[in-house]
Amino acid sequence: MNFSPNADESLIRDAIRDVCAEFPGAYWRELEASGEYPADFVAALTRLGWLSILIPQEYGGGGLGVTEAGIVLEEIHRSGANANACHAQMYTMGALVRHGSEEQKRRYLPAIAAGELRLQAFAVTEPDAGSDSTKISTVAERDGGHYVINGQKVFISRVAQSDLMLLLARTAPAGQGASRSEGLSLFLVDLREAGGAIETRRIPMMFNHHTYQVFISGLRVPAENLIGTEGSGFRQIIDGWNAERCLLASEAIGDGRFFLDRASEYGRERVVFGRPVGANQGVQFPLAQAYAQIEAASLMRFKAAALFDAGQRCGAEANMAKLLASQASFQAGNAAMLAFGGNGLAVEYDIERKFRETKLLEIAPVSNNLVLAFLGQHELGLPRSY
């Protein structure tokens, strides 16, 4: 195995650093204060083609894999920026590219790649189902050439900043199929045509994150916007979920490297009691421990991404990458807060902002406890624990 970065990886990292240099900490602090969406940052990434990196070249995209997309997101987060505003346009491709019809891909992907359409919303979670996606109650009923959808979704990010939305709904009553996941179908919803059938309400969060409650009443979706086959939507979104886990692991790794970069520099330069604070083992050892954890998580991330890109099963690896990376990032953030002391709480240093942002990755898109339950059952053969 070759662990050396190749020329393409180095070029990607350098290019993303150049983009992010135009959006320093002050940009993100201003947005945090105003609660506004980072439209200029997203527009720059779109214009340069980074958000279409997973779209095949025949549809106008970059034609690269989750491995390369992860490097993009890692470098965004290492710079102190946050890709949360736009990363769904990458991981939704796991479902659309692999399971969409040729007509759907030709209709939507070139416009997405060109930045003419935004696919930033992935509507699965519901208030009464939570992490048990097989228990969703949003219903899609066939009515001639359309499906009529009614229900409610929650924590649906960027729906107000998106033109299109992937939506999972029930097309058959629960319990009718051979498995709990049957009877769910995946739709591509054109939000521009939804009118009053969709109402959104923003949910205030602990950091500047644009996520919403979504209320759906009588939404008519053309039957040709069904992704794949009716009733198999849950299996189709798993491809999106595995890509998502790989990519968000990369974001966590980027956050971790941000914390270590900043804290190491501070530890070398900040002098207290006549010596750099980084010379103290109480500062140095937590940072070194976090560094080792970040490096280990990065290897699992690359393994999971390589399996995904090769079309192989990667559920366990993608989940482990997300688990390890989110834990390592939070540990790095905590070590950085301790290294900075009181300055870590000061807004101007950006440590407290990134610390709040990276906490999300231990909880979403799937709780780390559910990752452990998955591994215990499916990898260790232990009894189902949930």
The predicted model gives 219-245 an average pLDDT of 95
**Looking at the predicted structure, is the pLDDT value of residue 4 above 90?**
no
Rounded to the nearest 10°, the torsion over CA 360, 366, 370, 371 is -90
Q: Residue 178's pLDDT band (boundaries 50, 70, 90)?
A: low
The predicted model gives 89-109 an average pLDDT of 95
Tokens of 28: 């993100």
**Looking at the predicted structure, is the pLDDT value of residue 314 above 90?**
yes
| Whether 248 contacts 361, CB under 8 Å | yes
How far apart (Å, rounded) are the C-alpha atoms in residues 87 and 45? Answer: 11
**Looking at the predicted structure, is the pLDDT value of residue 1 above 80?**
no
pLDDT attached to residue 114: 97
pLDDT attached to residue 42: 98
Helix ranges restricted to H, 137-232 = none
DSSP 43: H
pLDDT tens digits for range 102-114: 999 999 999 999 9
Domain residue spans of the chain = 7-113, 119-231, 235-378
Q: Specify the CATH architecture of the domain 235-378.
A: Up-down Bundle (1.20)
**Looking at the predicted structure, is the pLDDT value of residue 181 above 90?**
no
pLDDT tens digits for range 260-283: 999 999 999 999 999 999 999 999
pLDDT attached to residue 386: 87
How far apart (Å, rounded) are the C-alpha atoms in residues 258 and 162? Answer: 29
Classify domain 7-113 at the CATH superfamily level.
Answer: Acyl-CoA dehydrogenase/oxidase, N-terminal domain (1.10.540.10)
Residue 303 identity: K
pLDDT attached to residue 6: 84
The neighbour count for residue 270, using CB atoms within 10 Å, is 17
**Looking at the predicted structure, is the pLDDT value of residue 349 above 90?**
yes
Residue 139, judged by CB atoms within 10 A of its CB (0-12, 13-18, 19+), counts as middle
| Whether 326 contacts 357, CB under 8 Å | no
Q: Which of 211, 185, 180 is nearest to 95 (CA)?
A: 185
pLDDT tens digits for range 148-167: 999 999 999 999 999 999 99
What is the pLDDT of the chain when averaged over all its residues?
96
The predicted model gives 179-202 an average pLDDT of 95
Tokens of 229: 């086959």
**Looking at the predicted structure, is the pLDDT value of residue 90 above 90?**
yes
- What is the CATH number that goes with domain 119-231? 2.40.110.10
pLDDT tens digits for range 10-54: 999 999 999 999 999 999 999 999 999 999 999 999 999 999 999
| Whether 243 contacts 169, CB under 8 Å | no
**Looking at the predicted structure, is the pLDDT value of residue 199 above 70?**
yes
**Phi and psi at residue 353, to the nearest 5°:** -65, -50
Q: Residue 115's pLDDT band (boundaries 50, 70, 90)?
A: very high
Q: Kindly state the percentage of the chain with pLDDT values over 70.
A: 99
| Whether 228 contacts 245, CB under 8 Å | no
Tokens of 231: 């009733």
Q: Can you list the positions of beta strands (E) in 254-341?
A: 271-272, 275-276
The predicted model gives 130-154 an average pLDDT of 96
Q: Taking CA 66 as the corner, what is the angle to CA 130 and CA 25, rounded to the nearest 5 degrees?
A: 80
